[in-house]
Chain A
Amino acid sequence: MTTVRLEKVSKTIGATPVVRELDLVVGDGEFVTLVGPSGCGKTTTLRMIAGLEEVTSGRLYIGDRLANDVPSKDRGIAMVFQSYALFPHMTTAQNIAFGLKIRKVPGDVVARKVSWVLSLLNLKGLENRRPRDLSGGQRQRVALARAMVVDPEVLLLDEPLSNLDAKLRIKMRAELKRIHRQLKTTILYVTHDQVEAMSLSERIAVMREGRLAQVGTPLDIYRKPTDLFVAGFVGSPTMNFFDGTIEQKEGKATIATRAFELALPEPVWQRCKTHKGKTVILGIRPEHIYRRGSSRIKEVSGNTVKAVVTVVEPLGDRVIVEVERSDVRFTLVLPEEARMVPEMAVTAVFDMEHCHLFDRASGKRIAP
């Protein structure tokens, strides 16, 4: 258990900046998820922390020690690669024991630790199998076991669940949480799957094109995305975005899109006054748009939009419904009972308390 601290860490490969001035702290015993689209530099960041990739500039601390030039094996880290990188010629037990044997741990201790980690990860009975005779989920657990058995102070996990099927992935998420609660190891977890990120960890760091876009709790990021990218990246189904102009008529603040006009609640208006008369981007999550009659919020003039259903996507107990009004489309999530079909007319009720406004040029959040 220790902390990992990145101070303006950058990595340039050839002439391409891959990671740019990353500032990130993973606290003692904390579980932080690094999330971002494919190619944004997550693996590179992890590899720098692991000592497999040199830091081009900036400082990397593990604990209180400047670790930029510390060899991998002395960093107190363990890593699970996205590909697992199991040693194909070794059995499960040999794979797991490899790190301990290298560290010259006495034989009886090795046996005890291997046995402990085998039962921690439900691998009992698979000791003598080779990787090729294991299923994907089992391989993934062997890779995890091999990393955990050496008692790392920091555990680095690179998309460890991405090769598993959906069901197993959800089961392993819960396992990982349980293991973290039990061992309290500092964990930096990388994924490109925002749902996984939201459900796994205490804190999320969202990356984009080598930079950190936002760090915070899953709820923070969901409620107050700092820019358009984070707003669009986090949450499923994705947030609706509209170009809209902020206006003030007869003392009432509104935002007018090409197809409809919505009233802005007072607190939102207070924050976006400066943009009066300008075009901004209005964001609202599908789950914050209701259907007349079933809405949890009061219907007032200025928060309803009449529209026509274009696409219905059933999710079981809920349906994602895409609707259209004068060529402007948006999605909402409704309960299955709503029995939506294309061509149907609906009146959508916008919960404007949960709207987001972004500057059109910079993409930065304006309000609320």
Chain B
Amino acid sequence: MTLRIRVRAGRILWFSGLVVMVLIVIAPVFVMFKYAISDRASVVTGGMPIPLWPFHPTLEQFRGLAGTEQFLAAAVTSLQAALLSVTLSLAIGTPAAYALSRYRFPGVMVLATALISIRLFPDVVAVVPVVEIFTRLALVNRVLGVALAHSLLAAPYVIFIAMGVFDTIPIELEEQARILGAGPVRSFVRIVLPVALPGLAAAAIYVFLLSWDEFIFSYFLLAFGEQSTLPVILQKILSWTPQHNLLAAISVVLSVPVVAFTFLVQRYMQTGAMAGAVK
């Protein structure tokens, strides 16, 4: 009897814990959505408590954003930069990681760690020489320049993640392909890449997020151009202290592509990609 009560108490405790954790995660998202669809009266209450749900839910803020050309252009630029960053950093990072993983030479880990430690410098320090170099290469005020900078920032992580992925793929798969007549390129494309895909998808999500969020490099690299990314626009908007509901609407717009991209890529992320390969 006492045992049963204790078991039930344990369950209730566990369940309450779960509810609290879910609330902690959900609460900010809820608040963001609530504000984003709030009418002016639900935000500017003149000292009255702010309602839990807006008096008159509205999409007014979104309509406003959709009508702001500057904002739309920035969204497009951001998306371009992010997708380009994903492509570039994977294109650079994947082969590099493969080489590092397969051709183990003394000091591989030192090299890999050195790559990562580049990121130990604050971005503000790195941005000056990067802008300097990119100016000479005519890469400033262009999406390509931003994407390249973001790829440079992401590359060490991509290499690190991908190295870990390649390390889990037994060399015997490639040897078997070789015996069956596949050259190195075919074996990489037909065997290694598909098997590595779930891990590489994780890297892709990481790069997308990094680029989408990045402010400092985007700001300086696009300083004198017509284009701008969302974080940069956001900074401008913040400088004239807008209403909470506009800010929240912007936040929603900023979150959507990240969530969408993650969902899209996540389909490749089933676990157990290696299951059944060996033994």
Task: Report which A residues bind B (CB closer than 8 A).
Answer: 50-52, 72-73, 77-79, 81, 83-89, 98-99, 102-103, 130-134, 136, 139, 146, 150, 163
Contacts between the two chains (Cβ within 8 Å), count: 80
Chain B residue contacts of A87, Cβ below 8 A: 173, 176-177, 191, 195, 277
Q: Is the CB of B186 within 8 A of A102?
A: yes
The answer to whether B176 and A79 touch across the interface, beta carbons within 8 angstroms, is: yes
Smallest Cβ-Cβ distance to A136: which chain B residue:
B279
A84 to chain B: closest residue by CB: B278
Q: Within the assembled complex, what's the spacing in Å between the Cα atoms of A146 and B181?
A: 13
- CB-defined contacts of B173 to chain A, threshold 8 Å: 85, 87
Nearest chain A CB to B171 CB, angstrom units: 9
A79 touches B181 (CB 8 A): no
Known A72-B179, A83-B172, A132-B272; further 4 A-B contacts with Cβ < 8 A: A85-B170, A88-B275, A132-B276, A146-B176
B167 CB to closest chain A CB (Å) equals: 16
CA distance A84 to B278 in the complex (A): 6
* CB pair B278 A99 closer than 8 Å: no
- Kindly identify, within residues 153 to 208 of chain B, every residue whose CB is under 8 Å from any CB belonging to chain A: 170, 172-173, 175-182, 186, 190-191, 194-195
A52 and B279 contact, CB distance less than 8 A: no
**Shortest beta-carbon distance from B6 to chain A in Å:** 40
Q: Which of A89, A102, A139, A146 contacts B195 (CB 8 A)?
A: A89
Residue with the highest number of chain B CB atoms closer than 10 Å, among A51, A85, A102, A163: A85
Name 9 interchain pairs, CB-CB below 8 A, sorted by A: A73-B180, A78-B179, A79-B179, A83-B279, A87-B173, A89-B273, A102-B180, A132-B276, A146-B180
Query: Number of B interface residues, CB 8 Å?
Result: 24
Within 8 A of A (CB), among B67-116: none
Query: Is there contact, CB below 8 Å, between B181 and A73?
Result: yes
- B275 in complex: contacting residue of A79, A85, A132, CB < 8 Å: A132
B274 in the interface, Cβ–Cβ < 8 Å? yes
Query: A83 is contacted by which of B170, B177, B180, B273 (Cβ under 8 Å)?
Result: B170
Cβ–Cβ < 8 Å partners of A132 in chain B? 272, 275-276
